[in-house]
Chain A
């Protein structure tokens, strides 16, 4: 009984901290419409900043707290809004979530850069171990404070959101930005305020929780998953229910710690999986969402419907690139490039899911890991049966993950996938061989297992494998094109637009979601098995949650509506680590880079591929120039084969030729357009060509500023009838408008 009481009270103290974290999450979601995956990372930075001031520089605790919570955290919030989120208020939900994932990666990288892991950083509780006794149970002052802060925050946030003008404006801006401006509100300011408060909540949670779990980057960053579970119980919006969720979690955790046997292999790490399991349980009991209708938005999302001839040409190009790469690389380099292609295959699995259906998966690498493990155990000697099995098993697991969430809104699927990845990381992937009934299951054995590359007749050397993988990528690319063109693809896009309309047309929306998730998981498993083959030996680290994030991020940055995004992800995820091997200083940059690229997405929600396509579009309309460009590329490759042009100059030349071709095409087309409509003046020169054929007009500069998100200060508001521009409206009303 004593033990029970002790566990209960400890549990409530844990719950209080969780509640602080979770309520910050709910706050940000309610006031910005973004589910902030970076919440934990912000808390981590807050805790480290506090450690820096308080323990490294020895400032008094109150001052350090004040500086972190009152200055640094709000400033970070303001910076996040101004630099990252500003351009995104109208972007599709997937893009916004992905940007917060990018932020997570960037902030985590930043934390590791500024506070490297090689120093021990003790962070003690407030008031050390001083404590009081409650019902005979020890409760430290730190815990007491946590409980009080949680309670105070609960009341304060509720009052802020539902009782103040500022709170109302924040929620209104999430609902309909344009309309809130028509009401005279300033959504920019609301967003800045919302982020400042959200970051402060995160920092507070980070500081409170660090003494308990240690000042460690990754743990603090991912602690957020526990907070998700709590927030989800409150359907991401309801604060009281979120608190109830936090209490349930805290208690379960404490009881598990007290009562679970510690000697079982299966259950040793089980405690860490509790929040995840609870999260899935919550998903199962949440009431079904009403089918959502169309959401009002003004940013145009681009999901092109590629034609067959162009797609076949592109596929051929992929294969050709593989062949050329195989010709010009040394054997170790060929293996390195294989990895890139294999990662690109995994990333390709995201295109139907994220690009077409608008559903997010944060665990694509976990599926790849499952594929690799299956291949390791059943694909000895590169047996194709192993590859088949890898695909099937990953697909089946994917279906299981998606099943509880198909009834719910999209964000829940994203959360479920994150939770699933965490569960594999924390529990399953760490298990030694075990048996469930008649089934004997082995995962990564004692740490790593060997994966044989797939055995294909005639494919022997590393170079052959590279060509083989390029062919596989090209085929899968064609599969994705086929999906987009099929009625299944149309259903995916239709679902993304309006689930309600899809259902009333006879589309089984749950089945569609389940199918696309299963398909995507299966593709990832397939890719993972191949990737494992290129690695030789795989361990849990290769397929950790932390690997899934940059994959998704970079695929979206590349342009998730098309295969190009997958290529970008493959090159960056698979390629950047190679660069680090060459240039060690690049490591820290590499840590922040994917994150910052995600941030760049805010400027161009449709991704790099779309940008490139727009840039090269005129080329396709000019056969002569197109042929010339192709010949140019061939010539460069030829020079490389003859070993005239190597290394960096070769790479530069390879990139420069198509770029020059595209540019020339634009100039030519602009000339033609200008010639045809000479009488109509500059208006008929498409914007892309302006500035090349003639100087920019002022209007175009304005348009470009707008498109690029470089806002100009508007001309001062009309100070109607002579009043200063900030004329107070009540004065106007009082005077009787226009009367």
Chain B
């Protein structure tokens, strides 16, 4: 794909640095995500993937670097303002509103979007992830796997331009992961830029058009899944001969 035909990046992260005391969690990390594509972000535990999501969503202020949403600098904006500009995420550790029902969780997200921005209604979002039946269940009663789907539906109901998913398939069985992948591709097909953090390497390799590999806070490699799979450094640091990666 040449630069001329590539759509403008929906999310662009430039040279982000995050330091916790003496520990450099992110070291000049840059990343772009384009509409309509699923961009993978993988790396060993503690590489800085979640920290990068926190920087993008505004929960963690970077020491240096910029975050651009649709070309506009949002580095200093409060989290909720970024969300209103079309940024949505899910959490590695579930963050559902347990006091509310599944339907209310999603309705809340849709109501924040307002009528100005297009997006799914709460019902449509639930339909998409196949959880219509559970609409009236209190969210804190859900088993983990279903809860992950509700988080996805909730993020979708905000009508996002950019969707950050932090280990959405963890705690899901292979069959469930497969269904999840279908949803993901459908969502990307609507022109949403999806960034996927996942340790299920097979899922990442089969779904993403671009994959970035983080290690010790740095971008170790970036490229197509094939390039990444063949990359010695990545195999060494992360992939190993894991059963999830067909050779």
Interface segment among B98-106, B183-191, B204-212, B222-230: the answer is: B98-106
With A and B bound together, what is the CA distance between A503 and B104 in angstroms?
16
With A and B bound together, what is the CA distance between A509 and B91 in angstroms?
18
Chain A 504-537 against B: per-residue CB contact (8 Å), 1 yes, 0 no? 1111110000000000000000000000000000
Complex contact A500–B95 (CB within 8 A): yes
Q: Does B63 contact A (CB under 8 A)?
A: no
Q: Which residues of A contact B100 (CB under 8 A)?
A: 490, 493-494, 497
Q: Does A739 contact B (CB under 8 A)?
A: no
Chain A 488-502 against B: per-residue CB contact (8 Å), 1 yes, 0 no? 001101101110111
Complex contact A505–B98 (CB within 8 A): no
Complex contact B79–A291 (CB within 8 A): yes
Q: B residues 65-94 with Cβ under 8 Å of A?
A: 78-80, 83-84, 87-89, 91, 93-94
When C-beta atoms are compared, the residue in chain B nearest to A498 turns out to be B95
Complex contact A504–B89 (CB within 8 A): yes
With A and B bound together, what is the CA distance between A560 and B79 in angstroms?
31
Complex contact B107–A503 (CB within 8 A): no
Known: A291-B59, A490-B104. Is A503-B96 also a contact (CB below 8 A)?
Answer: no
Q: Which residues of A contact B58 (CB under 8 A)?
A: 503-504
When C-beta atoms are compared, the residue in chain A nearest to B110 turns out to be A487
Q: B residues 143-170 with Cβ under 8 Å of A?
A: 154-155, 158
Q: Which residues of A contact B154 (CB under 8 A)?
A: 505
Q: Does A70 contact B (CB under 8 A)?
A: no
Q: Does A294 contact B (CB under 8 A)?
A: yes
Complex contact B78–A503 (CB within 8 A): yes
Q: Which residues of B contact A293 (CB under 8 A)?
A: 91, 93, 95
When C-beta atoms are compared, the residue in chain A nearest to B155 turns out to be A505
Complex contact A504–B57 (CB within 8 A): yes
Q: Does B111 contact A (CB under 8 A)?
A: yes
**CB of A210, distance to nearest CB on chain B (Å):** 44
Complex contact A506–B112 (CB within 8 A): yes
Q: Does B108 contact A (CB under 8 A)?
A: yes
Complex contact B99–A505 (CB within 8 A): no
Q: Which residues of A contact B97 (CB under 8 A)?
A: 490, 493-494, 497-498, 501-502
Complex contact B83–A294 (CB within 8 A): no
Q: Does B203 contact A (CB under 8 A)?
A: no
Complex contact B91–A503 (CB within 8 A): no
Q: A residues 395-454 with Cβ under 8 Å of B?
A: none
Q: Which residues of A contact B59 (CB under 8 A)?
A: 290-291, 500, 503-504
Complex contact A497–B83 (CB within 8 A): no
**CB of B116, distance to nearest CB on chain A (Å):** 12
Q: Does B109 contact A (CB under 8 A)?
A: yes
When C-beta atoms are compared, the residue in chain B nearest to A497 turns out to be B97
Known: A503-B78, A506-B83. Is A491-B108 also a contact (CB below 8 A)?
Answer: yes
Q: Does B113 contact A (CB under 8 A)?
A: yes
Q: Does A303 contact B (CB under 8 A)?
A: yes
**CB of A171, distance to nearest CB on chain B (Å):** 21
Interface size band for A: 20 to 34
Q: Does A301 contact B (CB under 8 A)?
A: yes
| Pick from B78, B91, B99, B104: contact of A501, CB under 8 Å | B91
With A and B bound together, what is the CA distance between A508 and B78 in angstroms?
9
Known: A490-B100, A493-B99, A498-B97. Is A505-B91 also a contact (CB below 8 A)?
Answer: no
When C-beta atoms are compared, the residue in chain A nearest to B60 turns out to be A290
Known: A487-B111, A503-B83, A506-B84. Is A497-B99 also a contact (CB below 8 A)?
Answer: yes
With A and B bound together, what is the CA distance between A301 and B172 in angstroms?
28
Interface size band for B: 20 to 34
With A and B bound together, what is the CA distance between A716 and B113 in angstroms?
57
Q: Which residues of B contact A504 (CB under 8 A)?
A: 57-59, 79-80, 83, 87-89
Q: Which residues of B contact A507 (CB under 8 A)?
A: 80, 83, 108, 112
**CB of B204, distance to nearest CB on chain A (Å):** 23
**CB of A497, distance to nearest CB on chain B (Å):** 4
Complex contact A505–B83 (CB within 8 A): yes
Q: Which residues of B contact A509 (CB under 8 A)?
A: 80
When C-beta atoms are compared, the residue in chain B nearest to A356 turns out to be B99
With A and B bound together, what is the CA distance between A667 and B142 in angstroms?
32
With A and B bound together, what is the CA distance between A460 and B78 in angstroms?
54
**CB of A355, distance to nearest CB on chain B (Å):** 11
Complex contact B113–A506 (CB within 8 A): yes
With A and B bound together, what is the CA distance between A301 and B97 in angstroms?
12
Q: Which residues of A contact B80 (CB under 8 A)?
A: 502-509
With A and B bound together, what is the CA distance between A265 and B80 in angstroms?
46
Complex contact B98–A294 (CB within 8 A): yes
Q: Which residues of B contact A491 (CB under 8 A)?
A: 108
Q: A residues 440-480 with Cβ under 8 Å of B?
A: none
**CB of B215, distance to nearest CB on chain A (Å):** 26
Q: Which residues of B contact A300 (CB under 8 A)?
A: 140
Q: Which residues of A contact B109 (CB under 8 A)?
A: 505-506
Complex contact A501–B96 (CB within 8 A): yes
**CB of A490, distance to nearest CB on chain B (Å):** 5
When C-beta atoms are compared, the residue in chain B nearest to A506 turns out to be B83
Q: Which residues of A contact B108 (CB under 8 A)?
A: 487, 490-491, 494, 505, 507
Complex contact B99–A301 (CB within 8 A): yes
Complex contact A490–B83 (CB within 8 A): no
When C-beta atoms are compared, the residue in chain B nearest to A92 turns out to be B99
With A and B bound together, what is the CA distance between A500 and B91 in angstroms?
10
Q: Which residues of A contact B94 (CB under 8 A)?
A: 294
Complex contact A303–B99 (CB within 8 A): yes
Complex contact A505–B104 (CB within 8 A): no
With A and B bound together, what is the CA distance between A509 and B98 in angstroms?
17
When C-beta atoms are compared, the residue in chain A nearest to B100 turns out to be A493
**CB of A13, distance to nearest CB on chain B (Å):** 38
Q: Which residues of A contact B155 (CB under 8 A)?
A: 505
Q: Which residues of A contact B107 (CB under 8 A)?
A: 487, 490
With A and B bound together, what is the CA distance between A507 and B114 in angstroms?
11
Complex contact B99–A496 (CB within 8 A): yes
With A and B bound together, what is the CA distance between A497 and B147 in angstroms?
15
**CB of A500, distance to nearest CB on chain B (Å):** 6
Q: Which residues of B contact A301 (CB under 8 A)?
A: 99
Q: Which residues of A contact B105 (CB under 8 A)?
A: 494
With A and B bound together, what is the CA distance between A173 and B112 in angstroms?
37
Q: Which residues of B contact A501 (CB under 8 A)?
A: 91, 95-97
With A and B bound together, what is the CA distance between A300 and B100 in angstroms?
12
Q: Which residues of A contact B104 (CB under 8 A)?
A: 305, 490
With A and B bound together, what is the CA distance between A301 and B113 in angstroms?
28
Q: Which residues of B contact A506 (CB under 8 A)?
A: 80, 83-84, 109, 112-113, 158
Q: Which residues of B contact A294 (CB under 8 A)?
A: 93-96, 98
With A and B bound together, what is the CA distance between A303 and B104 in angstroms?
13
**CB of B174, distance to nearest CB on chain A (Å):** 27
**CB of A124, distance to nearest CB on chain B (Å):** 51
When C-beta atoms are compared, the residue in chain A nearest to B95 turns out to be A501
Q: Which residues of B contact A500 (CB under 8 A)?
A: 59, 91, 95
Known: A301-B99, A500-B59. Is A505-B88 also a contact (CB below 8 A)?
Answer: yes
**CB of A47, distance to nearest CB on chain B (Å):** 42
Q: Which residues of A contact B113 (CB under 8 A)?
A: 506
**CB of A675, distance to nearest CB on chain B (Å):** 28
**CB of A15, distance to nearest CB on chain B (Å):** 32
With A and B bound together, what is the CA distance between A418 and B83 in angstroms?
35
**Pairs A-B, 6 closest by C-beta atoms:** A506-B83, A501-B95, A487-B111, A503-B79, A506-B112, A497-B97
A-B contact pairs, 20 of them (CB 8 A): A291-B79, A490-B108, A491-B108, A493-B97, A493-B99, A496-B99, A497-B98, A497-B100, A498-B97, A500-B95, A502-B97, A503-B80, A504-B88, A504-B89, A505-B88, A505-B108, A505-B158, A506-B109, A507-B80, A508-B78
Give me the interface of A with B, judged by CB distance under 8 Å: 290-291, 293-294, 300-301, 303, 305, 487, 490-491, 493-494, 496-498, 500-509
**Other 18 A-B pairs with CB < 8 A, given A490-B104, A494-B100, A501-B91:** A294-B95, A493-B97, A494-B105, A498-B95, A500-B59, A503-B58, A504-B59, A504-B79, A505-B83, A505-B88, A505-B109, A505-B112, A505-B154, A505-B158, A506-B80, A506-B83, A506-B84, A506-B112
Give me the interface of B with A, judged by CB distance under 8 Å: 57-59, 78-80, 83-84, 87-89, 91, 93-101, 104-105, 107-109, 111-113, 140, 154-155, 158
